[in-house]
Amino acid sequence: MTEAAGRGAPVSPDPVVLELLGRASAWLAQDPDGETRAELSGLIAEAAAGGETSIAELHDRFDTRLAFGTAGLRGAIAAGSNRMNRVLVSQAAAGIAAHLLEKAGDGEVPSVVIGYDGRKNSWVFATDSAEIFAGAGIRAVLMPRMLPTPLVAFAVRELGLSAGVMVTASHNPPLDNGYKVYLGGADEGSQIVSPSDEEISAHILRVAREMTVPELARSSEYETAPESLIDAYIAKTAAVGWLPPSEIGAQPRVVYTAMHGVGWQTFAAVLGRAGFIEPDVVEAQIHPDPVFPTVAFPNPEEPGALDLAYATARTEGAHLIIANDPDADRLGIAIPDAGNAEGYRRLTGNEVGALLGWRAAELYTASASGVAAGDAAGDAAAVELAGPPTAATEVAAPATLACSVVSSPALAAVAAAYGLRFRETLTGFKWVSRVPGLIFGYEEALGYLVNPETVRDKDGISAAVAFLSLASDLAVDGFTIADQLDNFSERFGHFGSAQVSLRVTELSRIGALMQHLRTTPPNEIGGIAVASIEDLSHGSAELPPSDILRIRTIDGSRIMVRPSGTEPKLKVYIDVSSDSGTLQERKASVAARLAALETGMRELVS
């Protein structure tokens, strides 16, 4: 900063700064939000006076923009093209509207449902979107209140709409928000995939280039979704885990946390409809709160996120902890564990996925054979089918279990044992949900799809009901979830997984590390010889090209290496299994090899 600038006197910015100030001022002129206008006005004034920090901040906000992709939009709430705000959301809504109108047939009026969670500005962004959709001549249906993300995916199919928009940042930090898009018709309410994302992005960029926000047509003639829509979701989701009267007394004691999100009201209604006793709740986290005061990062996977749930569970003597993330599309589970300082341990996404996959296979097989009751674990748990049929029983053959390519091979073992088809997909639920014949799908990041004929996206509420139903089935015969995990290991083999995440400040380092592994592949990892390395950037028999390396070692273990799609991280997924020896021998073998491979991979990518 110059001496004059330091005294607060005006300076003459260089041409680059002048151009930057011009872009920021143009943005300011169309911003309808008083809070972001005030914030941006201050930054512009400080930058015009030569403030280096403010100039750098404006560069960060305006030198690029949040890219619209298959995950929609997501970022911190603030002014600027590289942030989430009313200008960006209005441009996105206008771009999506243009895409829907372009794809509509002659005489067809496109339609879209808009949902929102409890985050800051979610209702504002949703209302802006509804008005812009309606102004463009599209039938717009706004959800009646803040609701979980899965209800938007459900509404697209239930109402036969062209698309759906959900305003949420899921489990991101408190100051973030986002914009997720679903498509109807042949997409059946799944999240968008290519080329739809590129087509929508092109329209958004055209709108941003050619029009200002005040010039976008708006209308208040949008609809509000009826309560009957929510009732239909509750009824169909309750059918996933309908509890026979004979099992009511055997329900485990449950603690539930909504993680300051929107899951509780809907989850409670589903439990009531399904016949379950209402769980004890983590009072400090049960209601929506955009500040997320009790968690630094509202994600059940994050260290410390379940601390209040553990404390409540210890007080109540709970047998099971159920956690949804803030928009309730993910599910976290914890069970008692005397060897853990908290008294409980959170199950990995792979453990939950394996148990839910086994349950789905058993239910489907029993239904297909006309058997009224199935044995889920060699007389360990009787699965009653005496209630409403699950959606899984309605899927036409070939019935398929599916998971993302970085999830555990355990699900493949279940599929093989039951004679079902198994499919791996690229990471992202937009791929899992599109697998033909799907009866169950999951990804290790706590996403599960247990009722694909109702919702074509991960759904933390239906998954929670399914898991609670499993726990109740087990309790009838005096077994626990921990017992069922052991039963799984004895029947299908013991599977263990671990992750290594390397966060970087320079994204180029991730590319350099991937290139190094490709050009100088390791011969051994953690003392275990490498058998093969498959570069999936060229695709495979079932997978399109993706920046992933799949490493297999001579002991049958698998290591997946890929850049994160949402964060500046290199991610490593390690999966080890054993089906030899006693249960304890299997566990010991997996633990030792998992530790060796984790140490070896940390050394390789550090």
Put residue 67 in one of left, alpha, beta given phi > 0 → left and psi -120 to 50 → alpha: beta
Work out the average pLDDT over 145-166: 98
Is the pLDDT at 30 greater than 80? The verdict is yes
**What's the confidence (pLDDT) of residue 394?**
46
Which pLDDT band holds residue 10 (cuts at 50, 70, 90)?
low
The residues that are catalytic are 170
> Residue 115 pairs with which residues in a beta bridge?
166
Which pLDDT band holds residue 6 (cuts at 50, 70, 90)?
very low
Which pLDDT band holds residue 40 (cuts at 50, 70, 90)?
very high
**What's the confidence (pLDDT) of residue 380?**
33
The 10s digit of each residue's pLDDT in 534-578 is: 999 988 878 889 999 999 999 999 999 999 876 788 999 999 999
Which pLDDT band holds residue 14 (cuts at 50, 70, 90)?
confident
pLDDT > 90 fraction of the chain, expressed in percent and rounded: 86
**What's the confidence (pLDDT) of residue 396?**
55
Work out the average pLDDT over 58-62: 97
**What's the confidence (pLDDT) of residue 9?**
45
**How far is the C-alpha of 290 from the C-alpha of 87, rounded, in Å?**
21
Is the pLDDT at 3 greater than 90? The verdict is no
> What is the SS3 assignment for 82?
coil
The 10s digit of each residue's pLDDT in 218-257 is: 999 999 999 999 999 999 999 999 877 766 667 899 999 9
**What's the confidence (pLDDT) of residue 392?**
40
Segments in 343-445 forming alpha helices (H): 349-368, 410-418, 429-432
Which pLDDT band holds residue 13 (cuts at 50, 70, 90)?
low
The 10s digit of each residue's pLDDT in 512-529 is: 999 999 999 999 999 999
The 10s digit of each residue's pLDDT in 312-370 is: 999 999 999 999 999 999 999 999 999 999 999 999 999 999 999 999 999 999 988 87
- The answer to which of 210-219, 490-499, 543-552 has the lowest mean pLDDT is 543-552
**Number of other CB atoms surrounding residue 507 within 10 Å:** 11
Work out the average pLDDT over 413-434: 96
The 10s digit of each residue's pLDDT in 109-118 is: 999 999 999 9
- Token couple for 168: 């949420």
For residue 119, give the nearest of 298, 244, 242, 246 by alpha carbon: 298
The 10s digit of each residue's pLDDT in 247-287 is: 666 789 999 999 999 999 999 999 999 999 999 999 999 99
**Number of other CB atoms surrounding residue 370 within 10 Å:** 6
Work out the average pLDDT over 472-501: 96
Q: Which residues are CB-neighbours of 50 under 8 A, at least 6 positions away?
A: 1, 2, 4, 5, 11, 13
Angstrom distances, CA of residue 146 to CA of 63, 109, 124: 33, 26, 12
Work out the average pLDDT over 156-183: 96
Q: State the average pLDDT for the chain.
A: 92
**What's the confidence (pLDDT) of residue 327?**
98
DSSP state of 553: E
**What's the confidence (pLDDT) of residue 387?**
32
Is the pLDDT at 497 greater than 60? The verdict is yes
Domains and CATH numbers, the chain: 1-63 (no CATH), 66-223 (3.40.120.10), 226-484 (3.40.120.10), 494-605 (3.30.310)
**How far is the C-alpha of 176 from the C-alpha of 53, rounded, in Å?**
22
